[in-house]
Amino acid sequence: MKKKIIFALSSGLLAGLVSFGWSAIFQSDQFTGEDYSSVVPVPAIFISCLIGTILATGGHWLVLKFLSKKTGEIVFGFLFSMLSTASLLRVLLFQFGDKCQDCDQIAFWGYAMPMHFFPFLAWYTLKPMMED
């Protein structure tokens, strides 16, 4: 159990660091120069990455408890990717307001949407740590 907790936290921190890096690059003057920190604060990025990987680790344990290892891995991977994709709805439905131009909205999607997959990628990158 201790190993699963360490794994969940380390994959969440990795996802948070990658998201922070993506945020810094995307908001740099060489890229867009837009500041989205008022819309998506840095602490929220790290917290959501940690919550996502903790829930994924718990979900993985739960799926494997009821299904065989091979079937459980397939089902869990499918569910995790579906939930990561479904989380994009919140980004797609977000609207800045009347002053926003279409290009600003599209740039925000390019900023926020990739971050929704970083917990998934970090979780599977560090998954060999969890193997017994």
Q: Which two tokens stand for residue 52?
A: 């996502």
For residue 19, is pLDDT > 90? yes
Entry pTM: 0.86
73-94 pLDDT, tens digit per residue, is 999 999 999 999 999 998 888 8
* Residue among 74, 112, 75 nearest 93 (CA): 112
* Residue among 57, 27, 101 nearest 65 (CA): 57
CA distances in angstroms from 127 to 12, 90, 131, listed in the order given: 12, 27, 7
Q: Which two tokens stand for residue 90?
A: 């919140």
27-83 pLDDT, tens digit per residue, is 887 777 777 777 888 899 999 999 999 999 999 999 999 999 999 999 999 999 999
How many C-beta atoms lie closer than 10 Å to residue 32's C-beta?
17
Domains of the chain by residue range: 2-129
Please say whether the beta carbons of 90 and 20 come within 8 A: no
